[in-house]
Amino acid sequence: MTSVVGHKPFSPSRLAIHATLLLACAVYLVPLVVMLLTSFKTPDDIRGGNLLSWPDVFTVIGWAKAWDSVGGFFWNSVKITVPAVVISTLLGALNGYVLSMWRFRGSQLFFGLLLFGCFLPFQVILLPASFTLGKLGLANTTTGLVLVHVVYGLAFTTLFFRNFYVSIPDALVRAARLDGAGFFTIFGRILLPMSVPTIMVCLIWQFTQIWNDFLFGVVFASGDSQPITVALNNLVNTSTGAKEYNVDMAAAMIAGLPTLVVYVLAGKYFLRGLTAGAVKG
Amino acid sequence: MASLELRNVHKRYGSGLPDTLKNIDLKIESGEFLILVGPSGCGKSTLMNCIAGLEDITGGEILVEGSDISGMSPKDRDIAMVFQSYALYPTMNVRDNIAFGLKMRKVPQEKIDEEVARVAKLLQIEHLLTRKPSQLSGGQQQRVAMGRALARRPKIYLFDEPLSNLDAKLRVEMRTEIKLMHQRLKTTTVYVTHDQIEAMTLGDKVAVMKDGIVQQFGTPQQIYNDPANLFVASFIGSPPMNFIPLRVQRQGGQWLAILDSGQARCELPLTVADDAALEGRDVILGVRPEQIVVGKGDVGLPAVRAEVDVIEPTGPDTLVFVSLNDTKVCCRMAPDLAPQVGESLTLQFDPAKVLLFDAQSGERLGAQPAERPRNVAQFKGR
């Protein structure tokens, strides 16, 4: 197969393809480059030069100031995101297991209704959610925000796992039942170990959704418990004093880095997991 | 090991839906090999799942060693099953697959190691113990699936079409191995298949099923020689039994079947138990290809000459097709005696071996000679 790739490296059509791809890459990367360059400039440098110019002196002062203002909120986001992702993924796996392997009367209808959750816009559930959180005594707490994210994410994680588990032959569960395994043993010992690609999809999907969420964060958290997205907004939209673009850019980078890291580490599972069960492997 | 008895087992998936299993009555002794055979949709796999406890029965009793297990959960029934798809746990290696059932039953570790070693030796899979199922060939996966069942030493083994995913050559090999294993271990086994050759070769007892009803239950020889009805007769045997439609005539107190090849006619005297049974009925004469005597000279049986239409050499035998009563009839001959197409051939029929069926209901008509062992079928008509 390598000979096919190496065949005629300089043919015009191949050059055209690569040129187009490079151009597309450049277009997508320019904003990131501008952000990175600006974050390392001094405020004077930013006002004096143009967007794409190289910094006169590289300085991390913007990053240090940014971390001072949003660093605390970064940990808030971690405290919200990690439990919410883990809980919603585990519950989604359990839901998917029941809906595919232990069908009950009306389970198809139940699954259909659950799917509606995937189409609900955030805004629709703001009032009912805040009412519920108030009743539970969880208003303005990190726990409350975790709860909202778990409930909202369940529709998606259930869908992912259910669609993966329906592709697994029933005989596997039957064999385990005859071997003497119970409901949770079958789930924990046989199905979960097979679900690594789907777990990765859920982790990436839920992490991105919850880390990047702004609306729930701004509505259901206040003051010191706010997530980094809200803190970033407060920092950037401040109208007092001179605009420190280097700090803004560095803070935006800090806010965006974790999702980037998750994609790089788990990305290869993402496409594999999304297409799992689509073709017989 | 244990005996297994099904008493009046009944299964329906919902009220208003037709019965999936109707009044199943079967009994095998400890160590016997029972085959459930029939076309797809006949209920044989459902019956097996009911025995395993994976599906509940609507009525009746399932007795193992005389005690009813039909209310128990699968894990308490002490039954092991080999699945058509093998259903090996993909994330566990072969050793863990075999040991899983023992671990679930809290067997001590040294006993587990002992059992795994015993089973691996028995099935010659010792060198595969650390591999994952995906690294095994179909035949090896099949062995591991059997090993998983054997390790637990259950009361009853269930096999659900275990050979149908293998290629033809391996299927024959594994069939012999299963038979050998059963001869050595004398395990009570229920084996589901749609393959009549597996049914004939493996079973001590065979239950032929159709539409949720056991059409006939008996030894392979009883099923083959003495089929209870047209369906059983047509399902068992390869090449299948010939079915020649005819009307019978009465002549001097003797019923005669008339066979007409176009160039000749033959009158076959029938031994009928009940005289009224044949009066004015359309009947079907059943005769197996090897029961038609051809090319061996006159042996003193009723004979008819017929022209050969087609010849199919299979190697050990040659199948010769002629036309009788406008129906294609197959005869099995030794290859060196086989005629050419277009030649005429003398066919002789043994009246003691032919079977008669009612053309409408398909039921066997009481035409069998008295010295033949009585049919033990528990056939229940609709």
Shared domain check, A140 and A39: no
User: Tell me: the pLDDT tens digits for B239-265?
Assistant: 999 999 988 888 877 888 889 888 888
CATH class as words, domain B4-235: alpha beta
Q: Say how many CA atoms lie within 13 Å of B232 toward its Cβ.
A: 32
Here the CATH number for the domain that contains residue A216 is 1.10.3720.10
Shared domain check, A97 and A27: no
Asked if the structure places residue A7 within a domain, the reply is no
Q: What percent of chain B has pLDDT over 70?
A: 94
Same fold, B4-235 and B242-379: no
Q: Does B56 touch chain A (CB under 8 A)?
A: no
Asked if the structure places residue A20 within a domain, the reply is yes
What mean pLDDT do residues A121-146 have? 90
What mean pLDDT do residues B196-223 have? 94
The answer on pLDDT for A281 being more than 70 is no
Asked if the structure places residue A24 within a domain, the reply is yes
Which residue in the set A171, A174, A180 is minimally distant from B101, CB to CB?
Answer: A180
> Domain range for residue A235?
61-275
- Of A200, A204, A201, A253, the C-alpha closest to A228 is A253
Beta bridge mates, B208: B37, B216
What mean pLDDT do residues A274-281 have? 48
Asked if the structure places residue A281 within a domain, the reply is no
Q: With a CB-CB cutoff of 8 Å, which residues 162-191 of chain A face chain B?
A: 169, 171-172, 174-182, 185, 189-190
CB count, 10 Å around CB of B382? Answer: 6
User: Tell me: the pLDDT tens digits for B94-142?
Assistant: 999 999 999 999 999 999 999 999 999 988 999 999 999 999 998 899 9
Asked if the structure places residue A84 within a domain, the reply is yes
| B229 DSSP assignment | B
CB count, 10 Å around CB of B66? Answer: 8
- H or E element that contains A277: none
Q: Does B209 touch chain A (CB under 8 A)?
A: no
Rounded CA-CA distance B108/A65 in Å is 62
User: Tell me: the pLDDT tens digits for A175-192?
Assistant: 999 999 999 999 999 999
Shared domain check, A112 and A34: no
The answer on pLDDT for A95 being more than 70 is yes
Q: Which two tokens stand for residue B317?
A: 């035998």
* CA torsion angle A36 A40 A42 A44 (round to 10): -30
Which residue in the set A172, A177, A194 is minimally distant from B74, CB to CB?
Answer: A177
What's the domain count of chain A? 2
| ipTM metric | 0.80
Contact B100 A181 (CB under 8 A): yes
**Is the distance from CB of A210 to CB of A61 less than 8 angstroms?**
no
Shared domain check, A162 and A35: no
Contact A175 B81 (CB under 8 A): yes
User: Tell me: the pLDDT tens digits for B82-102?
Assistant: 998 899 999 999 999 999 999
Pick among A179, A189, A196, A199 to test the B interface (most B CBs inside 10 A)? A179
Which residue in the set A171, A181, A194 is minimally distant from B83, CB to CB?
Answer: A171
Shared domain check, A252 and A173: yes
User: Tell me: the pLDDT tens digits for B266-322?
Assistant: 888 887 666 666 777 788 999 999 999 987 777 888 899 999 999 999 999 999 999
Asked if the structure places residue A156 within a domain, the reply is yes
Q: Report chain B residues whose CB lies below 8 A from the CB of A194.
A: 90-91
The answer on pLDDT for B44 being more than 60 is yes
Q: What is the 3-state secondary structure (H, E, C) of B264-327?
A: CEEEEEECCCCHHHHCCCEEEEEECHHHCEECCCCCCCCEEEEEEEEEEECCCCEEEEEEECCE
What's the residue count for chain A?
Answer: 281
Asked if the structure places residue A6 within a domain, the reply is no
Shared domain check, A151 and A24: no
Ranges of each domain in chain B? 4-235, 242-379
Q: Which two tokens stand for residue A197?
A: 């690609």
Q: Does A103 touch chain B (CB under 8 A)?
A: no
Least confident residue range of A65-69, A152-156, A262-266: A262-266
Q: Report chain A residues whose CB lies below 8 A from the CB of B84.
A: 171
In this prediction the pTM is: 0.80
* CATH number listed for the domain at residues B242-379: 2.40.50.140
Which residue in the set B52, B89, B152 is minimally distant from A190, CB to CB?
Answer: B89
Q: Which two tokens stand for residue B35?
A: 């085959």
Q: What percent of chain B has pLDDT over 90?
A: 63
